[in-house]
Amino acid sequence: MAVQQPLRRVAAVSAPRAARTLAVSAAAGVPTVADTKAKFMSNFTRPLPSLYSTVVLELLVQQHLFRHNASYKYTPIQALGVCSVFDQILQGLPEGEQEAVFSAYIQALDESPEQYRKDAAALAEQAKAAGSLDSLMPASNAMMAGIADAVSSGKFLYTKFFAVGIFRMLELAGLKEPKDLQAVVAALGVPLERVNADLVTYKGILSKLKMAKTIMEEFLEREKKKQAERQAEKAKKAEEVSA
């Protein structure tokens, strides 16, 4: 439950506009949140521990609103952001199960998990090879220039996944100073305060998940120890009776 509150704060920033767009376009056959949830659950039928399912479903609801907004546009930066979020949130699950959850999530949004992974990996490699901040700015980067144009024309929907993607791209490029993030965000025309707020929320989610996982591991270890003690006591009593 602890991880839900920060997610709701992010939703409060972006969801109202997206929700209004959905209300207008409902007649055009836009799937409902319930439809998207049901699709995810039909794609991933195995039980998912509540520690993970709570966060995944919260993110699914938010991204549903983004995905079906008229201003939504898929970008490799978003792909890198989504992949980065999922790779960290689902740590602790078996690798195959992590990818199964990710695929079910993206497919529920009528998008391609293969494209997300491919574009995220390609952008990660480009970032590592960038060499300088200038090479990632709209003036010298066609992808970034296209995003800046879309933002200036009002045809770009900002999301927290985009913020994470920008942060991760700069991190991979070795550009970790706040001034680097500020320069890229300013060049794109995206509000810096929203980017910073979403990154703080994202880091908070990861911190709370890490704490919850630690608590769960400690609980399971205690239960395992208690079970071993009960079995030892039972074996001891059996020996006494047989003697």
Residue 20 in this model has a pLDDT that exceeds 90: no
Express as a percent the part of the chain with pLDDT over 70.
81
Phi, psi (degrees; rounded to nearest 5) at 48: -115, 125
Please give the pLDDT value at position 242. 72
Please give the pLDDT value at position 3. 37
Confidence of residue 211 (pLDDT cuts 50, 70, 90): low
Confidence of residue 14 (pLDDT cuts 50, 70, 90): very low
Phi, psi (degrees; rounded to nearest 5) at 9: -65, -40
Report whether 170 contacts 131 (CB < 8 A). Answer: no
Please give the pLDDT value at position 216. 57
How do residues 25-74 score in pLDDT, each as one tens digit? 444 578 999 999 999 999 999 988 887 888 899 999 999 999 999 999 99
Lookup: tokens for 139: 């003036």
Domain boundaries, the chain: 4-242
How do residues 93-145 score in pLDDT, each as one tens digit? 888 899 999 999 999 999 999 999 999 999 999 999 998 999 999 999 999 99
Report whether 118 contacts 27 (CB < 8 A). Answer: no
Lowest mean pLDDT among 19-28, 74-83, 234-243: 19-28
Residue-wise burial string across 97-132, b where 16 or more C-beta atoms lie within 10 A, e elsewhere: ebbbbbbbbbbbbebebeebbebbeebbebbeebee
Distance CA 39, CA 44 (A): 9
Please give the pLDDT value at position 222. 72
How do residues 147-205 score in pLDDT, each as one tens digit? 999 999 999 999 999 999 999 999 999 999 999 999 999 999 999 999 999 999 888 87
Helix, coil or strand: residue 137: coil
Centre a 10 Å sphere on the Cβ of residue 41 and count the other Cβ atoms it contains.
14
Report whether 197 contacts 160 (CB < 8 A). Answer: no
